[in-house]
């Protein structure tokens, strides 16, 4: 049975700053069995959720990651979301975000504990490259796949037939950048948002890597202007524009090739996530948006053993203000280090430390000017 330790995190409740460390002030041991926590919903978790709430409206930097091995079953804890550091703010489900008919009982219990008790947000994520990706029913393809098998079609002929079947399902008539094309993008946007509501996910992370070797584009979602239209349509249901009174909303994040998007979409996106792999001092100010909306990330598919540049990224700050946060691709690989999530835990602590130092300096400067 593996014991989980809390991280250093900072809470502000009723004007009182409470500091909790994994070794100093409060050391809570939690025993997890099959994704359920035997401690229940304790005061500790109430405080943890209150800490998560302090990130609202960019009140502090966040901890983020792409999670790639979700398999909460058995004694080995790597595949459990409940084994992540408690102070993870939101996570993109790179290993998949199943719907209510596909999720296992173990996944459901694991997911609900992390969302409802720990207050961590879980996002769907997809490398979007055509209308209908991740939202087209398999039944749309069944007739052409059956015909291909019966008639011995080539792979290219099958893929072309599947594309046309998909276009027919979404109502696309084949004329790119037409009124019909953008109507289909709007239809797809609603389907993506409906899926979040139906399956209780907390937002959508668009992986936008057009021009970086994406192989399955069909022309319907292959240009910046297509994604810009899609994201604006999604904001009818989720994202910042869906929440004019600031009461809370499901998130929209974009990662990958963001340069051509920030000017048009900044008001429609909660966070911009840069893949700053291997960089000790990633650019936080060259995107034309407030650095508080920029999350820099390291690659733990490659650097999980030694942490890569994650700790340096955590310590790095823009020349003015503060960054949106830090994270890592496939950060669950950090579980195999000793202690588990060794680098992510340190990065979260450093990330908050430099932010609190910045905030203290701001207070000093304000006092001087009075």
Q: Which segments in the chain show pLDDT lower than 70?
A: 1-41, 369-370
Give 308's DSSP letter.
Answer: T
CATH number of the domain that residue 348 is part of? 3.20.20.80
pLDDT in tens, 124-166: 999 999 999 999 999 999 999 999 999 999 999 999 999 999 9
- What is the β-pairing status of strands 16-20 and 9-13? antiparallel
Element counts in the chain: helices (H) and strands (E)? 9, 13
Please say whether the beta carbons of 13 and 53 come within 8 A: no
pLDDT at residue 370, rounded to an integer: 62
Is 69 inside a domain boundary? yes
Please say whether the beta carbons of 99 and 361 come within 8 A: no
Is 139 inside a domain boundary? no
- What is the β-pairing status of strands 36-37 and 30-33? antiparallel
Which residue blocks in the chain are alpha helix, DSSP H? 43-53, 105-112, 142-151, 155-170, 179-199, 224-234, 262-265, 310-315, 342-369
Is 3 inside a domain boundary? no
| Cα–Cα distance, 95 to 110 (Å, whole number) | 15
Q: Does the bond joining 83 to the residue before it have cis omega, within 30 degrees of 0?
A: no
211 to each of 187, 257, 260, 294, how far by Cα in Å?
25, 9, 12, 22
Is 286 inside a domain boundary? yes
Is 27 inside a domain boundary? no
| Cα–Cα distance, 90 to 106 (Å, whole number) | 20
| Cα–Cα distance, 109 to 103 (Å, whole number) | 10
pLDDT in tens, 350-362: 999 999 999 999 8
pLDDT at residue 214, rounded to an integer: 87
Which two structure tokens, joined as six digits, stand for 245?
A: 């009174």
| Cα–Cα distance, 309 to 314 (Å, whole number) | 9
Instruction: Write phi, then psi, for 74 (nearest 5 degrees).
Output: 90, -175
Please choose, from the candidates 181, 288, 255, 267, the residue with its C-alpha nearest in 3D space to the C-alpha of residue 225: 181
| Cα–Cα distance, 360 to 97 (Å, whole number) | 40
Structurally, the chain folds into a number of domains equal to 1
| Cα–Cα distance, 249 to 266 (Å, whole number) | 16
User: How many residues would you count in the chain?
Assistant: 370
Is 192 inside a domain boundary? no
Burial code (b: 16+ CB inside 10 Å, e: under 16) for 246-281 equals eeebbbbbbbbbbebbbebbeebbbbbbbbbbebee
pLDDT at residue 229, rounded to an integer: 98
| Cα–Cα distance, 26 to 20 (Å, whole number) | 6
Is 30 inside a domain boundary? no
The boundaries of the domain holding residue 81 are 41-131+200-363
pLDDT at residue 9, rounded to an integer: 33
pLDDT at residue 363, rounded to an integer: 81
Does the predicted model carry a pTM greater than 0.85? yes
| Cα–Cα distance, 78 to 332 (Å, whole number) | 7
For the chain, the 3-state helix, strand and coil shares in percent, each to the nearest 5, are 40, 15, 45
Is 218 inside a domain boundary? yes
Please say whether the beta carbons of 294 and 324 come within 8 A: yes
| Cα–Cα distance, 186 to 48 (Å, whole number) | 37
| Cα–Cα distance, 140 to 145 (Å, whole number) | 10
| Cα–Cα distance, 147 to 156 (Å, whole number) | 14
């Amino acid at each position: 049975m593996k014991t989980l330790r809390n991280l250093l995190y900072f809470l502000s409740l009723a004007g009182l700053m409470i500091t909790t460390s994994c070794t100093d002030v409060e050391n809570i041991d939690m025993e997890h069995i099959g994704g359920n926590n035997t401690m229940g919903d304790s005061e500790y978790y109430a405080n943890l959720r209150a800490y998560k709430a302090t990130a609202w409206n960019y009140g502090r930097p966040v901890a983020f990651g792409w999670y790639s091995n979700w398999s909460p079953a058995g004694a080995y804890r790597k595949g459990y979301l409940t084994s992540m550091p408690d102070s993870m703010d939101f996570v993109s489900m790179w290993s998949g975000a199943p719907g209510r008919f596909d999720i296992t009982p173990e996944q459901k219990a694991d997911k609900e504990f992390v969302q409802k008790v720990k207050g961590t947000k879980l996002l769907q994520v997809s490398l979007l490259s055509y209308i209908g990706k991740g939202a087209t029913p398999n039944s749309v393809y069944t007739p052409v796949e059956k015909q291909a098998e019966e008639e011995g079609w080539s792979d290219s002929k099958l893929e072309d037939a599947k594309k046309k079947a998909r276009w027919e399902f979404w109502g696309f008539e084949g004329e790119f950048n037409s009124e019909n094309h953008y109507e289909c993008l709007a239809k797809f946007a609603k389907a993506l948002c409906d899926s979040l509501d139906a399956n209780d996910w907390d937002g959508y992370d668009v992986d936008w890597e057009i021009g970086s070797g994406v192989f399955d584009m069909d022309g319907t979602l292959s240009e910046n202007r297509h994604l810009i239209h899609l994201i604006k349509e999604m904001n009818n249901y989720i994202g910042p524009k869906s929440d004019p009174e600031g009461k809370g909303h499901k998130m929209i994040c974009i990662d990958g090739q963001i340069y051509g998007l920030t000017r048009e979409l900044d008001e429609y996106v909660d966070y911009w996530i840069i893949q700053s792999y291997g960089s000790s001092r990633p650019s936080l100010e060259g995107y034309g948006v407030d650095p508080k909306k920029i999350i820099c990330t390291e690659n733990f598919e490659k650097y999980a053993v030694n942490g890569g540049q994650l700790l340096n990224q955590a310590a790095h700050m823009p020349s003015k203000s503060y960054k949106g946060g830090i994270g890592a691709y496939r950060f669950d690989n950090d579980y195999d280090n000793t202690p588990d999530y060794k680098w992510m835990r340190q990065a979260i602590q450093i990330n908050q430390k430099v932010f609190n130092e910045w905030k203290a300096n701001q207070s000093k400067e304000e006092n001087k000017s009075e």
